[in-house]
A and B are shown apart, each in its own frame.
Chain A
Amino acid sequence: MNAVRGKPVSRDEGARLGFRLTLPAQILVLFISAFPLLMQLYISVTDWSPLSGLGWWNAWEMWNSFANYTDLVADTRFWSALKRTAIVMVVCVPAEFLLGLALATLFADDFPGKRIFYSILLMPMMVVPAVAGYMFFMLFQSGGPVNDILSAVTGTQVTIAWLSDPTLALIAVMIADIWQWTPLMFLILLAGLVGVPEDQIKAATLLGANPWQRFTTIVLPKMKTIIVIALAIRVIENFKIFDTLYIMTGGGPGVATETISVYIYKVTTQDLIWGYVAAIALAILIVLSIVAVFAMKRMARGRQVPA
């Protein structure tokens, strides 16, 4: 080997060469992730706005000694947007999870027409969120199909103003989210479900476990890792809920459906206080990072214990 290469390569030398070869890629990654983050951090401690006439690099001239963060703590609109986001998440993610799990359990077995239903079931996920937003915007009009169906069922003329009632608008937005993202949950959970060793399920059956016991003692524990991943993906995605919601309600009526993303969008485009926007975004990034770290820890632990 050494004869072919000419001279032996020491371990240190190899590591140095490897570092030099990957350096361009590392610099690129640094610019993609670290640079925007640092820029954001920098702007978040200033009053900088694109209308201030200064380049962002000169934002230090508008240094406001963490006023953005103290403002943030006192910003009731921010806190209520955060609370609304949390409500949406607390309703949507468990609903998507339970529906997805039920569907996955159903699809783990064979039944006639399974392939067709499978394709249909995955379709909502493929719809562009903005398009889904328009769809549900139309569905929930006072004279729209949802009210028509309710009228047909109840036999009386129903004219619910879904999108202009604060509570109903939030419900409509959540229904749209559940419609669109249950398929993803279903897909991930189905992958996990078919990965549960079949003979362990049979063994449990032979030992007298009923279907519910099999599900809780074998299937769920074996799916723990994948469940955590699925929930983490949806928690993070749901936290950023925007497109569908914005098109359906624009965050309204009033601020009734204003979630964190909608709030940031409004502050960014309407108020143009970008220093403050950076502060909000950074605070949210920290929250989501905690979720991600928790999920990754779980994944690492899951890897040590193969199914």
Chain B
Amino acid sequence: MSAIQLKHLTKTFGDFTALKTMDLEIADGEFMALLGPSGCGKSTTMNMIAGMEEPTSGKILFGERDMAGVPMGRRGVGFVFQNYAIFTHMSVRQNLAYGPRMRGAAKAEVDRRVGAIAELLQLSPLLDRKADRLSVNILQRVAIGRSAIMEPAIFLLDEPLSNVDAAFRAVMRTELKQLQRQFRQTMVYVTHDQLEAMTMADRIAVMDHGVLQQVGTPLEVYNNPANVFVARFIGAPGMNLIKGRPAESDRGLVVDLGPLGVTPPLPDELATSLRGARSDVLYGFRPEQVALAQGGRGLAMSVTFVERIGARTIVHLGEGESAVKAVFENDVGLSIGQTATVAPMAASVRVFDAASGIAIRAD
């Protein structure tokens, strides 16, 4: 077990910068998800931790130990590949035994360890099965077992669920989380699927275009996104953002949203931080945190589309340039063309600087 520190980690491929001065600390035993769209640098980060790629600059520390120049076979890293990379020409037993065998462990010792890990992962009845005809959750267990038998300090998982069909992912997620609890290992999990990151990770590192955007617990990133990218990326649908300008009113500081009118007054703490800068802002709120206002204060917009997905209803609203989504627990009976007034819940309102996209935090 070991903590990981990334210090000013940078990776360039020719002119292309895959990762830009990334600083990240992953605690011992933590489940950290690297989350971002494809090309955000998450896989590059993981490959550098594993030693498959050398950083252009910056440092990777395992505990206190600098990993520079340590070849990938010697890092004590377990790696679970996207497609598991199971040795298909071997049996499950041979797959599990591979690491110890290559390190020259005695046969009795190998058998003992394979037996123990197979017991733990409930693979014992499958040990003599050929590895090319296993179901995907068994493959996942073999892949994890094959790495776990080496007792690695760190487990790296590279989008292991991306080839699994949707229905089975929930099963796999649960199983993976349980395995992590069993092994209590530091795990770094790369994914573009926020649901996986939110459900399994202790903390999430959100990345985009090679830049670390925010690190926090799933609820932190969801509730208090550090910038517009995180706000839009996390949540399904993402946060609503409407352009506006702060304005003073007799009830306190509000945001003038142009044709949509003015918002209710901002909470005092937020207003205080906002009074300094009078540039354009983005007024943000979660689609899930709105109420339908009956002709009262709120954003009056016309319904452009309604998605009914059983448990929830997603209402798309538009007015001029602005578009907003609202999620309701039940069918609210709105249909296309109607006008609805939605009121964001005061506590859920977030404000971002329009130019930089950075969140303006309540002091």
User: With A199-B83, A213-B102, A305-B130 as given contacts, are A205 and B72 in contact (CB-CB < 8 Å)?
Assistant: yes
A210 to B99, CA, bound (A): 11
Q: Please choose the segment from B85-93, B280-288, B302-310 that sits at the chain A interface, where 4 or more of its residues have CB less than 8 A away.
A: B85-93
In this complex, what residue of B is CB-closest to A209? B102
The 8 A CB mask of B63-80 against A (1 = contact, 0 = none) is: 000000000111001110
Query: Chain A residues near B102 (CB, 8 Å)?
Result: 204, 207-210, 213, 217
Contact A207 B88 (CB under 8 A): no
A4 CB within 8 Å of chain B: no
Contact B83 A217 (CB under 8 A): no
Contact B146 A221 (CB under 8 A): no
A217 is contacted by which of B73, B79, B82, B98 (Cβ under 8 Å)? B98
Contact A305 B79 (CB under 8 A): no
User: With A204-B102, A206-B79 as given contacts, are A305 and B85 in contact (CB-CB < 8 Å)?
Assistant: no
B147 is contacted by which of A197, A202, A207 (Cβ under 8 Å)? A207
Contact B89 A222 (CB under 8 A): yes
Q: How far is the CB of A1 from chain B (nearest CB, A)?
A: 32
B73 is contacted by which of A200, A208, A306 (Cβ under 8 Å)? A208
Contact B81 A207 (CB under 8 A): no
Query: Chain B residues near A207 (CB, 8 Å)?
Result: 73, 98-99, 102, 146-147, 150
Query: Chain A residues near B90 (CB, 8 Å)?
Result: 221
User: Which A residues, 168 to 227, have Cβ-Cβ distances below 8 Å to chain B?
Assistant: 197, 199-200, 202-210, 213, 217-218, 221-222
A116 CB within 8 Å of chain B: no
Query: Chain B residues near A205 (CB, 8 Å)?
Result: 72-73
B50 is contacted by which of A206, A218, A305 (Cβ under 8 Å)? A206
A120 CB within 8 Å of chain B: no
User: Number of A residues contacting the other chain (C-beta, 8 Å)?
Assistant: 20
A38 to B78, CA, bound (A): 63
Query: Chain A residues near B86 (CB, 8 Å)?
Result: 200
Query: Chain A residues near B81 (CB, 8 Å)?
Result: 199, 202-203
A307 CB within 8 Å of chain B: yes
A209 to B95, CA, bound (A): 13
Query: Chain B residues near A217 (CB, 8 Å)?
Result: 87, 98, 102
Contact A204 B88 (CB under 8 A): no
Q: How far is the CB of A174 from chain B (nearest CB, A)?
A: 34
Query: Chain B residues near A199 (CB, 8 Å)?
Result: 81-83, 85
A8 to B82, CA, bound (A): 49
B251 CB within 8 Å of chain A: no
Contact A200 B130 (CB under 8 A): no
B103 CB within 8 Å of chain A: yes
Q: How far is the CB of A8 from chain B (nearest CB, A)?
A: 38
In this complex, what residue of B is CB-closest to A208? B73
B334 CB within 8 Å of chain A: no
B346 CB within 8 Å of chain A: no
B87 is contacted by which of A200, A208, A210 (Cβ under 8 Å)? A200
A213 to B130, CA, bound (A): 21
Contact A208 B99 (CB under 8 A): yes
Interface centre among A197, A203, A217, A305 (most CB of B within 10 A): A203
The 8 A CB mask of A277-307 against B (1 = contact, 0 = none) is: 0000000000000000000000000000111
Q: How far is the CB of A189 from chain B (nearest CB, A)?
A: 17
**Range of interface residues on B (Cβ < 8 Å):** 20 to 34
Query: Chain A residues near B116 (CB, 8 Å)?
Result: none
A218 to B87, CA, bound (A): 8
Q: How far is the CB of B274 from chain A (nearest CB, A)?
A: 50
In this complex, what residue of A is CB-closest to B75? A206
B52 CB within 8 Å of chain A: yes
Query: Chain B residues near A200 (CB, 8 Å)?
Result: 85-88
Q: How far is the CB of A184 from chain B (nearest CB, A)?
A: 25
A256 to B279, CA, bound (A): 97
A103 to B90, CA, bound (A): 27
Q: How far is the CB of A303 from chain B (nearest CB, A)?
A: 12
Contact A203 B85 (CB under 8 A): yes
A305 is contacted by which of B83, B88, B98, B146 (Cβ under 8 Å)? B88
B132 CB within 8 Å of chain A: yes
Query: Chain B residues near A203 (CB, 8 Å)?
Result: 79, 81, 85, 87, 146
Contact A202 B85 (CB under 8 A): yes
A205 to B47, CA, bound (A): 13
B132 is contacted by which of A202, A218, A306 (Cβ under 8 Å)? A306
Contact B85 A197 (CB under 8 A): yes
The 8 A CB mask of B86-129 against A (1 = contact, 0 = none) is: 11111000000011001100000000000000000000000000
The 8 A CB mask of A75-113 against B (1 = contact, 0 = none) is: 000000000000000000000000000000000000000
A305 to B131, CA, bound (A): 10
Q: How far is the CB of A221 from chain B (nearest CB, A)?
A: 5
Contact A208 B85 (CB under 8 A): no
User: With A305-B89, A307-B88 as given contacts, are A202 and B98 in contact (CB-CB < 8 Å)?
Assistant: no
Contact A307 B89 (CB under 8 A): yes
B89 is contacted by which of A206, A209, A213, A221 (Cβ under 8 Å)? A221
A306 to B88, CA, bound (A): 8
A207 to B149, CA, bound (A): 10
A217 to B100, CA, bound (A): 14
Q: Which residues of B are interface residues toward A (Cβ below 8 A)?
A: 50, 52, 72-74, 77-79, 81-83, 85-90, 98-99, 102-103, 130, 132, 146-147, 150
Q: List 7 A-B contacts (CB under 8 A).
A: A199-B83, A202-B72, A207-B98, A207-B102, A208-B74, A209-B98, A306-B132
Beyond A200-B86, A207-B98, A217-B87: 6 further Cβ-contacts under 8 Å? A199-B81, A202-B85, A207-B150, A208-B150, A217-B102, A305-B130
